[in-house]
């Protein structure tokens, strides 16, 4: 406990991880850090008390005469009973205080999401995230995958669903986790307070590639967010070079289109990540690989060796087809 307290303090002063509960960039995570600190203090005090008592109890041996050898092994000193009462009272008061602190923090967290100005639906799949920005006017809605962009300072409500097994939605820098459960609808409230690039990850074991189910989170200014959102509303650009055209033809007419959607083309599959703005994302395959040309090649050529067990098959592309597909995918920004 003691050592942990020190580390916690160290971390609070100089941590800038993209996936840490000690980040505090969201309202709920800031509450977490505050409450954690309170618990740490109380728990450290209790631990020091127990340790001190134990050390003294072992250290002071031989001074007592209430042992078998002195035929007095049932006697106890007079102060044991009041000490016990005091100890119990201390525990009870400490627990009550901590329970109340936890309760009021929970109330505060619940209030974060009472007036959401942006609504998202995140649907979990083995092993990727389907993300939809919901508006009453469908033409303003946007669908993307494995990334969310959020404007800073604006309360967001995220509706959570699952298409297969139980997953858990967790962006530690912003808030605690919420499970996505098939047949149920859960929700999470986010209130990002600082711009930055964060990382979320599935936190409930969901099968073979549970470890490679991450989510890129971008918290940006309202203007940047609107710029990004405007770009997302656009359909995919038309292929320009012959190579891009070959890739476009392959994707829209062969295996790819049965699972993937690319708006503005005939590729309309709905069971795999939307690729309309694929190349504008930070990573490939739910955080498995950083986005760059080499990794796109690697992924398209042999997804099963990059992320074994995932649902995208290795289909044995010819080199020409592969060059075309990658060239076309890179235009999807």
**288-317 binders of another protein (CB under 8 A):** 308-309
Does residue 12 touch another protein according to CB under 8 A? no
Query: Is residue 291 within 8 Å of residue 145, measured between CB atoms?
Result: no
Residues between 228 and 257 that touch another protein (CB under 8 A) = none
Number of residues that bind another protein (CB under 8 A): 95
Does residue 194 touch another protein according to CB under 8 A? no
- Tally Cβ neighbours within 10 Å of residue 67: 12
Residues 149, 199, 260, 277: which binds another protein (CB under 8 A)?
199
Residues 24, 27, 109, 286: which binds another protein (CB under 8 A)?
109
Non-local (6+) Cβ contacts of 113 within 8 A are 155, 156, 157, 187, 188, 189, 190, 191
Query: Is residue 98 within 8 Å of residue 42, measured between CB atoms?
Result: yes
Residues between 21 and 40 that touch another protein (CB under 8 A) = 21-22, 28-29, 31-32, 35-36, 39
Nearer to another protein, 209 or 261 (CB): 209
Does residue 92 touch another protein according to CB under 8 A? yes
Does residue 13 touch another protein according to CB under 8 A? no
| 116 vs 130: CA distance, rounded Å | 20
Residues between 263 and 292 that touch another protein (CB under 8 A) = 287
Give min distance, CB of 37 to another protein, in A. Answer: 11
User: Residue 276 gets which letter from DSSP?
Assistant: T
Give min distance, CB of 76 to another protein, in A. Answer: 5
Nearer to another protein, 1 or 235 (CB): 1
The distance between the two most distant Cα atoms of the chain, rounded to a whole number of Å, is: 100
Give min distance, CB of 265 to another protein, in A. Answer: 32
Does residue 77 touch another protein according to CB under 8 A? yes
| Residue 168: burial class (beta carbons within 10 Å; 0-12, 13-18, 19+) | buried
| 170 vs 179: CA distance, rounded Å | 9
Query: Is residue 216 within 8 Å of residue 197, measured between CB atoms?
Result: yes
């Amino acid at each position: 406990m003691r050592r942990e307290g020190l580390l916690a303090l160290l971390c609070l002063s100089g941590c800038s991880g993209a996936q840490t509960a000690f980040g505090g960039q969201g309202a709920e995570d800031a509450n977490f850090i505050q409450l954690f600190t309170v618990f740490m203090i109380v728990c450290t005090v209790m631990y020091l008390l127990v340790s001190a008592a134990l050390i003294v109890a072992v250290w002071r041996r031989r001074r007592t005469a209430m042992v078998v050898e002195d035929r007095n092994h049932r006697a106890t000193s007079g102060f044991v009973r009041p000490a016990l009462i005091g100890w119990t009272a201390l525990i009870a008061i400490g627990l009550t205080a901590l329970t109340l602190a936890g309760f009021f923090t929970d109330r505060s967290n619940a209030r974060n999401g009472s007036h959401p100005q942006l609504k998202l639906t995140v649907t979990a799949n083995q092993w990727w995230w389907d993300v939809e920005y919901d508006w009453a006017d469908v033409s303003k809605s946007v669908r993307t995958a494995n990334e969310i962009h959020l404007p800073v300072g604006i309360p967001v409500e995220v509706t959570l669903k699952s298409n297969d097994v139980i997953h858990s939605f967790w962006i530690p820098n912003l808030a605690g986790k919420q499970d996505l459960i098939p047949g149920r609808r859960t929700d999470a409230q986010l209130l990002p307070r600082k711009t930055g690039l964060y990382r979320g990850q599935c936190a409930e074991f969901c099968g073979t590639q549970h470890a490679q189910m991450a989510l890129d989170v971008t918290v940006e200014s309202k203007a940047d967010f609107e710029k990004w959102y405007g770009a997302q509303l656009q359909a995919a650009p038309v292929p320009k070079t012959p190579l891009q055209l070959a890739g476009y033809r392959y994707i829209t007419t062969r295996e790819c289109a049965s699972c993937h959607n690319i708006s503005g083309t005939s590729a309309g599959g709905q069971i795999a990540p939307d690729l309309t703005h694929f190349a504008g994302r930070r990573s490939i395959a739910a955080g498995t690989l950083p986005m760059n040309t080499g990794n796109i090649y690697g992924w398209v050529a042999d997804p099963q060796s990059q992320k074994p067990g995932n649902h995208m098959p290795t289909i044995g592309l010819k080199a020409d087809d592969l060059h075309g597909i990658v060239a076309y995918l890179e235009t999807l920004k």
